[in-house]
Structure 1
């Protein structure tokens, strides 16, 4: 059983259920021939988060984090410029100047309980962005277990016994179902519904979010992935203490009071995105076959696991994985580190962890690649949405010295209308679309660089498979041209314009690099690596990655809805 806790129920702490971003790394499938999509992943036909403006979303992929940081460093005296020329000039500064600029402004401290804070003062406007990064995701769930507070209740003393009775009835119902006592299970289910109604009378839905929104908070949300769970918002700087009080309350004393109703929502989301989605089924099956580590499991969980999930399991997982030593908080905006530290000690200082897990930090760089040993490395599945090709090349985690180059390789393959997959496959009529994703389905642990595409009418999956391999081999043997390298450098500079103004982006990047790379300062070395990369560097990493014995392929075959016959062409 795999709970969806890391991917779902952690977001519902103290009954707060925000608007949830896509819970999983997925691949966006555009309709017919189209321009190349951003290489960050979505699937199920939903919009890829990376196609949104960087300022509109809290999570940056590795390359965007580098770009946003470079842009902010280039701004003089924390004041962003609207001039593209200024951005490009700033980006070209030496890494030593950039390092000194950021190191002088970023302050860090750690409470005695292990909770780490990163503070970046940017006095552009009287607002502040807060980003809480929990170093726990669906990857951390165990096989077999996947998927006195005041906030959110009118009277917890009266509510608590009802919630306890709900748990007892739930577990009794599951025992009755397991033993085949159908009539008793139905009776207990009816009793559960009545108890839920009683509990609802005491609940104040979304009081956490409503309280912050009334104080001027914007962008209040949470996202989850295989790698982490994030909570974030922006609000007037003079309301920072309110955020501290509420954030500490929900982490120090959570009540999962709407777990059972939340489960029904998750079941419905799974039905729409996986069970009733042809591409969703293929993605889930492909990951289960192609990955040998915990990336093989969906963030949203499996139905059988969700059905057995109760508040005891959720509370146990929370106690183990959401202690202060597993959290990092970034505060970026019109703040001073002394104020932040005073508030942190006041509201989080007395919180003691119930977990034996160590301090949040980067994973081991000795983890093996999630590559199946022996047997076929090819998977096929029929679908009315086919055909679709996926090529998964196994790669190390984001802490690898080659991680930045793998991002650049994907930009060369599918980063624009002049990229190789677009010009050689889409424009020539071999594919409706062709794309590359540098890390799938996560990046904290060893994962896969994925190429995926939809063949044009009359083109088989086998032919598109060979065409993909021709392009990757071409990158190995010939390397990127001087024109391609110039395009990558220029794209790097231009992207700064979008990321430079966002406190939220910076808060996300600082937290992510601190946890996954060991320090936010790894941003600086990554920025320098992008600026200094050569065609020979690209060739070397491409040669090590695009090997036949490092490849797992997946064919989603076109299935006739009447006859069930499967075909590799449209």
Structure 2
């Protein structure tokens, strides 16, 4: 799992000419881009969601959610979801309470309760089941990345497992479950520390804050330290409900497959993702610089 701000690609002219991308729309509004390339032995598959850190500025929710997308669903990664859900709902409530208080004693009590509930809920978890399913059906290079504007989930897989890839990757977009969040919180917080240790990292944060403020680009993609320590799972669920709708997504496949055979598979699986429209964002005007600034 990664964070990226921008990417640049270089390619030979012949490679660009070899791209023959066809665009389709599923009945729920999801965009599909297909590039048949039979010179390749495998298929690269990706789901791009037009939702990133600018849609939840300074909270880190977009990146947190990216991590949660590997924890399974109500059907993947659990031994008994109904029993697990009771505990997960309690954990979500405790995290909301934790975010609303700065009292040291109260926070210690809530963190202890979250820890106890997390241990109990972990008894119902099948760890890394989503990752194992991807590997079982010829998948490799499973990863994801979050930017200011988008989040992308991707991996490479063997073409004979197209139906399985589509089933698993569409399933994760229907009802992701925020299990094992406590351990993932620590992982993300370590990422925050790692990026802070980069040479020039803090300088870039200061530059971005001044250059883009009050636009959401002014905030780090990973979020502020304060917000990372006080995540709200209910806000994360709302982020999913607002932005993870079919019309705000694109599916990319490139490699060794036949479009006529693939489209019915994609219709059957990815058309299950709920339709909808995303919240409108206000246009933010940047203020002028006041002469020369240092």
Q: In structure 1, which of residues 103, 121, 139 is the aligned counterpart of residue 36 of structure 2?
A: 121
Deviation at 1:146, TM superposition (A): 4.5
**2:83 is the counterpart of 1:161:** no
Structure 2: 5+ residue stretches without partners: 62-72
- For residues 289-328 of structure 1, the C-alpha deviation after alignment (integer angstroms, 9 at most, x for no partner) is 1223222110010012222322101010011111111111
Are 1:151 and 2:76 matched, yes or no? yes
**Could you say which residue in structure 2 is the equivalent of 1:341?**
263
Are 1:281 and 2:202 counterparts? yes
* Larger RCO (CA under 8 A, 6+ residues apart): 2
Does the CA contact (< 8 Å) of 1:319 and 1:354 recur in 2? Answer: no
Cross-structure match for 2:27: 112
Shift of 1:183: 2.6
Give the Cα–Cα distance (whole angstroms) in 2 for the partners of residues 215 and 300 of structure 1: 32
Q: Runs of 4 or more off by more than 3 Å in structure 1?
A: 145-148, 354-358, 367-370
Contact 2:60 2:224 in 1 (8 A): yes
Question: Shift of residue 155 of structure 1?
Answer: 1.5
Q: TM-score, normalising length from structure 2?
A: 0.86
Rounded Cα–Cα distance in structure 1 between residues aligned with 2:14 and 2:279: 36
Gaps of 5+ in 1: 1-19, 26-40, 42-59, 76-101, 380-570
Check if 1:225 corresponds to 2:138: no
Partner of residue 398, structure 1: none
Distance 1:151 1:264 in 2: 23
RMSD across aligned positions (CA): 2.5
Residues 520-539 of structure 1: pairs in structure 2 closer than 5 A: none
Residues 188 and 342 (structure 1 numbering): CA distance in 2 closer, same or farther, change over 3 Å? Answer: same
Give deviations 1:398-441, integer Å, cap 9, x for gaps: xxxxxxxxxxxxxxxxxxxxxxxxxxxxxxxxxxxxxxxxxxxx
- Note closer, same or farther for the CA distance 1:374–1:334 as it changes in structure 2 (3 Å cut): closer
Deviation of 1:285 after TM superposition, in Å, equals 1.1
- For residues 377 and 270 of structure 1, what CA distance do their matches in structure 2 show? 31
* 1:446-476 Cα distance to aligned partner (Å, 9 max, x none): xxxxxxxxxxxxxxxxxxxxxxxxxxxxxxx
Q: How does 1:211-222 map to 2 (within 5 A)?
A: 211-222=133-144
CA contact (8 A) 2:247 2:276 kept: no
When normalised by structure 1's length, the TM-score is: 0.46
Compared CA separation, residues 243 and 183, structure 1 to 2 (3 A): same
In the alignment, is the contact (CA less than 8 A) between 2:28 and 2:271 conserved in 1?
A: yes
Q: Look up the match of 2:65.
A: none
CA shift, 1:73, in A, is: 4.9
